[in-house]
Structure 1
Amino acid sequence: MAPQQTCEDNLSENRFVADKLEDVASLLDQQNASLFRVRAYRDAASYLRGLPHPVRLDYQSGGKRGLDDLPTIGPSIAATIAEILDTGALGLLDRLRGAADPEQVFQSVPMIGPALARQIHDDLGIDTLEALEAAAYDGRLATIKGIGPRRVESLRHSLTDMLARRRPRQAPRDRQQPSIADILAVDQAYRSNVEQLPTIKPRRFNPTGGTRLPILHTERDEWQFTALFSNSPTAHRFGKTRDWVVIYFERSDQPEAQVTVVTEHGGPLGGKRVIRGQEEACAAHYEAPDHRHLQSL
C-alpha cells in the first residue's frame, strides 16, 4: 500500500499545479483576455490532471525544456509550471488576484532582507525576479543605497541560478522586448479605456477593499501584454497612481518582463509618455519621421 500512497502523493502535485493553471485561466477569462490565452492555460491544466506520472520528474530531468516537450505545454506555460514547482506559488496568479507581494518575492533571493526588498520595490517599481535580474544588468540596481558592484555581481549569479531552469537559454542582457511603439500603444489603450476595463481588488493600499484597479490584457504581434496602474508605495507617495502604468509582457521564447510608462516632466520630452529607463529610445521614437507625420494629421 505504501508505494501506491507515494504515487498518489506525487500525482497530487500534478493536480495542485493544474488547479493553479485553471485559476489563471478563469481570471484571464473574467478579465477579458484573449480566448487563445485562456484556452492554453485550461488545456495545460486538463493535460496535467491526466498525466500518469509526476510532472516534477520531467522538470527534474529536463528543466523547462522537459516541460516544454510535453503535449499542450508551450514555453510560456512551461515557465509558469516551473515557478510553481520551485516555489509552490505563482506571481502571475497573485497579480491577477491583486494579491502580489513583491517584497516577499525579493526576500527569496540570498542577501536580500525585508528592508532591502522594500527599498528595491519602492525605488525601482519592479515586482518580479525577472525584472530584478534585468535591473541588476542595466545599472538600476546599483543605484540602490548600500548595493555596491560586488553585491550586484553576487545577486546576478543568485538570480541566474534561481531562474535558469524556468526560461530559454539566453543571457539576460541579450533578451528582446516589444518595440517602443507597441509598448506606448498598449499604454495609450489602457489609459484611454480605464472606465470600460475590468477591475481587480489590490490587497495593498486599499483600505476600503474595493475592486478599483483597472487591468488590461492585450496582444500585439507575438507579444502578450498586461497593463495596470502602479500601486507601489512610491506611486502613492508622489500621487502618480493614475499616471504610472506598469506593463508586463512575454513571448513564447522570452520570459516575462516589465516596464513602467510615465509622463515626463520638463526637458525635450516634457508632457510625453516615456518608458522609465529608456528615455533615449523614446526620444528617437518621437523623432522618427513616421511618428511626426502621424502627429501632423
Structure 2
Amino acid sequence: MANSERTRTPARAHLRENAQIAARLRSYADLLQKQGDDGFRVRAYHAAADRIEDMNLALRGIYNSGGIKALVALPTIGDGIAAAIVEILTTGRWAQLERLRGETTPERVFQTVPGIGPVLAERFATHLDAQTLEELEALLHDPKMSVPGLGRRRRRAILAALADRLDPIRLARRGTQAQDNAPSVSLLLDADALFRKQAAAGSLRKIAPRRFNPEGKAWLPILHLRRGDWHLTLLYSNTARAHDLGMTKDWVVAFYHQKDAPEAQCTIVTQKRGPLDGKRVVRGRENECMSHYANAGAAADASA
C-alpha cells in the first residue's frame, strides 16, 4: 500500500501542475478578452488550457524528455504557448500574464534568474535601464557596461543562466518562419498612432501597474490589435528611464507576434534630433522610418 501510494503521488503532483498551467493560460485568455482582444488569441489559449487539463501525461516530463519541440508537437500547443509553458516550468512565473495584470516589473523578472538577488536586480533596472531578459543579456555581453557589485565571475555565471533560460525561446523563434521578420515600420507606426489617439481620448481600458504606482491606480492604457497575421499589444513605457525623462506619455512599447510564435517587442518614440526630428520612429529601425516618411511624402506630392 505504501509503495502504491508513493507511485501515485508524483503523478498526482504533475497533473496538479498541469492544471495550474492550464489555469494561467485560461486567465491570460480571459484578460485578453476583457481588454478587447479580437478573439483569435482568446480561443487559442482556451483551447490549449482545455487540452492540457485533459492530458494524462505531465507537461514537465514531456519537456524534460523532448524539450520545447515535444511541447509544440502536442495538439493546440504552438510555439508561443510552448514558450510560455517552458517559462512557467522553469521560473514558476509568466511575464506575459503578469504584464496584462500590471504586475510585472524588470526587478521581479530578473530575480527569477539564478545569481540575481533583489539588490542586483534593482541595479540592472536602474543603472542599465534593462527591461527584459533579452536586453539584460545583450547589455551584460558588452564589456563597457559596468554595474556596482558585479564582478567578472558573477557576470559569466549570470550570462550562462540567461542563456539556459532564453535558448528554448530562441529555438522556438528559429523554428517559426513567421517570426523571421518583424512587422513593417508602417504597420507599427499606424498602430502607435491609433494607440495614442485612443489613449488621449480616454477610450482604452487601463491597468494598474505595480511599478511606480504607490496608490494602485489604473492609469496605464492598453490596446490589443490584429493587423493581418500580426497580433499586437501596445502600452506606454513604465520604465525608470521613461519616468526620469518625463516620457511616460511618449514612449510606446509594442509587443507583437505572428500566428502562435513567441512574442517580441519594440519601442516607438518621438525623435528629438536629426532629419527625423519630431517624428515617431521605431527604435533601432531609424533607416526604415526614414524611407517610410520619404515614401509618404512622395505619395502626398503625387496626389497633390
Classify the TM-score, shorter chain.
0.7 to 0.9
Instruction: Measure how far apart 1:124 and its partner are.
Output: 6.0
Identify the match of residue 125 of structure 2 among 121, 125, 132: 121
Within-5 A mapping of 1:1-297: 1-109=5-113, 112=116, 114-122=118-126, 126-133=130-137, 135-136=138-139, 144-146=145-147, 157-166=160-169, 167-168=171-172, 170=174, 175-194=180-199, 195-252=202-259, 254-287=261-294, 289-290=295-296, 292-294=298-300
Provide Cα deviations, 1:226-276, integer angstroms capped at 9, x if missing partner: 111111121111111111111111234743222111111132111101122
Distance 1:114 1:282 in 2: 38
Instruction: Measure how far apart 1:61 and its partner are.
Output: 1.7
Structure 1 runs not aligned, ≥5 long: none
Provide Cα deviations, 1:155-174, integer angstroms capped at 9, x if missing partner: 65543322222342639xx9
Percent of paired sites with the same residue: 42
Distance 2:262 2:253 in 1: 16
Distance 1:273 1:152 in 2: 36
Q: Give the SS at the match of 1:193.
A: helix
Distance 1:228 1:249 in 2: 12
Q: How many residues are treated as equivalent by the alignment? A: 291
Conserved? CA contact 1:123–1:234, under 8 Å: no
Q: Give the SS at the match of 2:226.
A: strand
Instruction: Measure how far apart 1:279 and its partner are.
Output: 2.4
Provide Cα deviations, 1:115-165, integer angstroms capped at 9, x if missing partner: 5533443466553323444x459x8x5664448999988765543322222
Distance 1:254 1:291 in 2: 34
Structure 2 runs not aligned, ≥5 long: none
Structure number, greater radius of gyration: 2
Q: Give the SS at the match of 2:100.
A: helix
Conserved? CA contact 1:130–1:257, under 8 Å: no
Distance 1:258 1:155 in 2: 23
Distance 1:150 1:169 in 2: 30
Distance 2:69 2:105 in 1: 28
Conserved? CA contact 1:136–1:156, under 8 Å: no
Distance 1:112 1:256 in 2: 24
Distance 1:188 1:150 in 2: 45
Instruction: Measure how far apart 1:49 and its partner are.
Output: 0.7
Provide Cα deviations, 1:26-59, integer angstroms capped at 9, x if missing partner: 1101001121100111111111111011111211
Q: TM-score, normalised by structure 2?
A: 0.84
Q: CA 1:274/1:113 → structure 2, altered by over 3 Å: closer, same or farther?
A: farther
Decide which moves more: 186-195 or 203-212. Answer: 203-212
